Chain A
Amino acid sequence: NAGVTQTPKFRVLKTGQSMTLLCAQDMNHEYMYWYRQDPGMGLRLIHYSVGEGTTAKGEVPDGYNVSRLKKQNFLLGLESAAPSQTSVYFCASSHTTVSGQPQHFGDGTRLSIL
């Protein structure tokens, strides 16, 4: 049981390049999330998904796109990378309940945009 797995772990891009970050979970969770973490700013939600085939915007969605074609996978795309997108990206997943459930995080992807 691997939990939440993110690939790649590190990546360096040039401004204007595109890339996709992959998140996979094996806990049969309905909900999946993408966050970015910048120094002194905690975790900010980029996009999330409440189930296969559905996505929604979070707090900081601009410059990112997501897809959830399979329940276990959640992809985050950068169409044209900008230096402001240099950050650590975390994926998380959780069960769906009315009363709230803890989110389980992956190990993160360190992304640098030059």
Chain B
Amino acid sequence: GENVEQHPSTLSVQEGDSAVIKCTYSDSASNYFPWYKQELGKRPQLIIDIRSNVGEKKDQRIAVTLNKTAKHFSLHITETQPEDSAVYFCAANPPGISSGSARQLTFGSGTQLTVLP
């Protein structure tokens, strides 16, 4: 099955600096890569996603890049703010065995991002 590794496990940055979180995946057939943000005690919420036919996607201060050859993808947050402090999870979604199979996500172990004021 798919295996997703996420680094670093903890990351501290000064407010206004950039933060980068990296993930690698094992199944070259994976074609969908979402990123979730989870604040303390809350549900994971989708912040950005990218599909395998795209190399980069941006949404205001957040961007995701995908390198299919190397099987890794990264989350970039620019101009970080204290409210960006949370746990961030990457995930990969390999195609199912058939068209009726579930779209299972395999999650990374998470990165605790702390933005210091």
Total A-B residue contacts, Cβ distance less than 8 Å: 60
**A residues engaging B (CB < 8 A)?**
31, 33, 40-45, 48-50, 56, 58-59, 90, 94, 96-108
Residues from chain A with Cβ under 8 Å of B104 in the complex = 33, 45, 48, 58
Residue of A nearest to B112 (CB): A40
Cα A102 to Cα B100 in complex, Å, equals 17
Contact B51 A99 (CB under 8 A): yes
Residue of B nearest to A41 (CB): B109
Question: What 0/1 readout, one digit per residue, does chain B (29-42) give for beta carbons within 8 Å of chain A?
Answer: 00110100000001
Residues from chain B with Cβ under 8 Å of A94 in the complex = 103
User: Contacts A42-B89, A42-B107, A42-B110 given: A99-B102 contact, CB under 8 Å?
Assistant: no
- Interface residues of chain B: helix, strand, loop or mixed (majority): loop
Contact among A42, A56, A59, A90 for B102, CB-based, below 8 A? A56
Contact among B31, B49, B101 for A102, CB-based, below 8 A? B49
